[in-house]
Amino acid sequence: MVSERERIAHVYRRLGVGAHPDLIDVTSSAGEAIDRALDLGGPDKATQTIRVPQTWDEVYEVIDGYEPVVWWIDAMVDDGRLVEERLTWFWHDHFAVSAHKVDHPYAMWEHVRMLRDHATGNFAQLLKAVAKSPAMLAYLDGIDNTAWGLNENYAREVMELHTLGVGNYTQADVVAAARAFTGWKVNETFWDDDGEEVPGRFQRDDVAPWGSYLDADDFDDTVKELLGVSGNLGMDDALDVLLDQPRTATFVAGKLYRDLVGAEPDPPVLERLASEFRSDYEILPLVKAIATDPSFLADGAIRSKVRTPVEKVVTLLQAFPKVRDVSDEDFGWGLVGLLEQLGYLPFAPPNPAGYPKGNRLLGPGQLSEAFALLNAIDAPAQGMTTDDVLDRLGLVDVSDRTRAVLDQTGDPGRKIGLAFGSPEYLLT
């Protein structure tokens, strides 16, 4: 029997990134939790700390250090605009780009800021913004895709990973889309060993630093045929063709359903969600439709997913807020190191298909190393009981065995360590 409080925690875990215990305390029903999680009335986080650099020096200042990762984690820990956090991370996974390849941190920052801007908005606009995102152009080799030398990398991934799903297009479609995507560049600039600026390959004075632009000379200005549509397609035209495919709405709605509900959608449910989504590609109504489908709060949805390292550390910081300065360097570098070790560093998904999920997170290495995330919080107050610890971590309905294991020790730190490793906490 799942308690209402567990369902409330479930809503915050799935529509947000963690399960803020103070929010659980003030929420009286799962329905109210859904409303609160979907509420975008709080202050806009995107404008609080990100500023557009005016000089090349500032390009680096903006991103110099661990601050982006800490800022993002802090935003997830915050109790406002929960669904925006969930979806920003979801799109970062869906439209994965990585600092491993995009060798300009500011572009990574801007990419994620763009994802945040569109996170709860319109998928068609998001898709088109991602296609022109300097980070994506660099990550999937769009900047090397010209009429004189096609690079199919982005064209293939946009169909396989972002819209249609594998098997719903042909190699001829990949070539046609790649041709439509030709000519896009990024105004790159690099520095040499002495710190002197050297021009990037595609430097343009009339384009913002690290901005993208279409170079008409490199565009394939001819007719292409993509998925049965013929014309002199450009980037947005080709993306419109993909958006017109019914399969795209099914693919994206299904993926979002699986992320939020933690189960395969029943075909009629998916059909309904996809057809509504396809009518205008508005994201928030889709989330609302999923969250209000009975399956979202069903017993089978509770703790049906493996909790990711980011979800673990965010929940931990919500439970036991770390007292620190904004510029706490040890905390910042420590957090970066921990998440990197676990393969879950924000801005650095391991490959174009995003972060690992599911069983892959339950290997001996992953489970052992995850305990190191406990370094993100301070030593707990003395006198905390098993109930206190479970409560703070948003663990409501726990097994007798879990309670017994925690009760074996009177030490609050040990209790937190064990609760962190409990079967209930390993799932979400």
Partner 1 sequence: MTPRNDDRCSLISRRQFLVGLGATVLTAACTSKTITVFEQTSSTTTGLAGTTSTTIPPGTFAPVERTLVVLELGGGNDAMSMVVPHGNSRYYDLRPSVRIDDPIDLDGEIGLHPNLGRLAARYGAGQVAVVEGVGIHDPDLSHFSSMRRWWDGTDRPDSTGWLGRYLDGSVGYEDLLAGITVGPGPSQAMLGSGSFVVNIADAGGLTTDIPWWIDDPDELFAAWAGFAPVDVPLSELSAVERAIRGTTAARQTLDAKLSPLRRTLEAGDDGDGDADGFAKDLRVAAQLVASDSPPKVVYVHGYGDFDTHENQRAVHDRMMAELDAGIETFFSTLEAAGVADRAVLMTTSEFGRRPEDNDGGTDHGTASTQLVVGAAVNGGRYGEPPSLRRLDEDGNLIHTVDFRSTFATVLDGWLQAPHSEILRADFEVLPIF
Q: How far is the CB of 9 from partner 1 (least distance, A)?
A: 17
153 binds partner 1 (CB under 8 A): yes
Residue 360 in the binding site for partner 1 (CB under 8 A): yes
Asked if residue 191 binds partner 1 (CB under 8 A), the reply is: yes
The continuous run of DSSP H or E covering 260 comes out as helix 246-261
Q: Identify which of residues 36 and 310 has a Cβ nearer to partner 1 in the complex.
A: 310
* Minimum separation from the CB atom of position 142 to partner 1 (A): 14
The type of residue at 127 is L
Output 109 or 234, the one with its CB closest to partner 1.
109
Give whichever of 67 and 84 is closer to partner 1, judged by the CB atom.
Answer: 67
Contact call for residue 352 and partner 1 (CB under 8 A): yes
Which residue, 101 or 288, is less far from partner 1 as judged by CB? 101
Among 1, 171, 195, 323, the residue binding partner 1 under the rule CB under 8 A is 195
Please classify residue 25 by burial: count the beta carbons closer than 10 Å to its beta carbon, then call 0-12 exposed, 13-18 middle and 19+ buried. exposed
> Which residue of 54, 148, 198, 228 would you call a contact of partner 1, by CB under 8 A?
198
Region from 15-23, 215-223, 271-279, 412-420 binding partner 1, contact rule CB under 8 A: 412-420
Could you say whether residue 166 binds partner 1 (CB under 8 A)? Answer: yes
Which 211-270 residues touch partner 1, going by CB under 8 A?
254-255, 258-259, 262-264
Site for partner 1 in 107-146 (CB under 8 A): 108
Among 110, 160, 293, 311, binds partner 1 (CB under 8 A): 160
Kindly tell me which residue out of 347, 393, 394, 396 binds partner 1, with binding defined by CB under 8 A: 347
Please report how close the Cβ of residue 296 comes to partner 1 at its closest, in angstroms.
14
The angle at the Cα of 365, spanning 361 to 370, to the nearest 5 degrees, equals 70
The DSSP secondary-structure symbol of 159 reads I
The correct pick among 288, 304, 331, 397 for binding partner 1 (CB under 8 A) is 304
Q: Is 226 helix (H, G, I), strand (E, B) or coil?
A: strand
Rounded least distance, CB 174 to partner 1, Å: 10
Residue 241 C-beta: closest distance to partner 1, Å? 21
Instruction: At 362, list the tokens.
Output: 């339950």
- Residue 356 is a binding residue for partner 1 (CB under 8 A): yes
**Interacting stretch for partner 1, rule CB under 8 A, among 20-28, 287-295, 368-376, 386-394?**
368-376
Half-sphere exposure of 67 (CA within 13 A, CB side): 14
Q: Which of 235, 335, 348, 384 binds partner 1 (CB under 8 A)?
A: 348
Residue 349 neighbours by CB under 8 Å, 6+ apart: 92, 93, 96, 97, 98, 355
Question: For residues 319 and 389, what is the distance between their CA atoms, to the nearest angstrom?
Answer: 8
Give the other-Cβ count within 10 Å of 170's Cβ: 11
**Burial (CB count <10 Å: 0-12, 13-18, 19+), residue 267:** exposed
328 Cβ contact list (under 8 Å, min separation 6): none
Residue 321 interacts with partner 1 (CB under 8 A): yes or no: no
Interaction residues for partner 1, span 262-281 (CB under 8 A): 262-264
Inter-axis angle of helices 246-261 and 4-15, nearest 10: 130
Q: Which is nearer to partner 1, 83 or 316 (CB)?
A: 316
Cross-strand pairs, 186: 212
Closest distance of CB 11 from partner 1, Å: 17
Contact positions with partner 1 (CB under 8 A) in 57-86: 60, 63-69
Task: Give CA–CA dist 106/189, Å, rounded.
Answer: 12
Q: Which is nearer to partner 1, 34 or 418 (CB)?
A: 418
Q: For the chain, how long is the longest CA-to-CA vector?
A: 74
Contact with partner 1 (CB under 8 A): which of 170, 326, 371, 387?
Answer: 371
The answer to whether residue 401 forms part of the interface with partner 1 (CB under 8 A) is yes
What tokens appear for 254 in the block?
């299904």
Considering the rule CB under 8 A, would residue 407 count as an interface residue with partner 1?
no
With CA atoms as reference, report the closest residue to 343 among 303, 377, 312.
Answer: 312
Give phi and psi for 230, each to the nearest 5: -115, 140
The whole-angstrom separation of Cα 219 and Cα 70 is 40
CB of 29 to partner 1, least distance (A): 26
**Total residues contacting partner 1 (rule CB under 8 A)?**
95
List 32, 292, 404, 410, residue binding partner 1 (CB under 8 A):
404
For residues 386 and 357, the answer to whether their CB atoms sit within 8 Å is no
Minimal distance, residue 421 CB to partner 1, in Å: 5
**CA 166, 167, 168, 174 torsion-angle sign:** positive
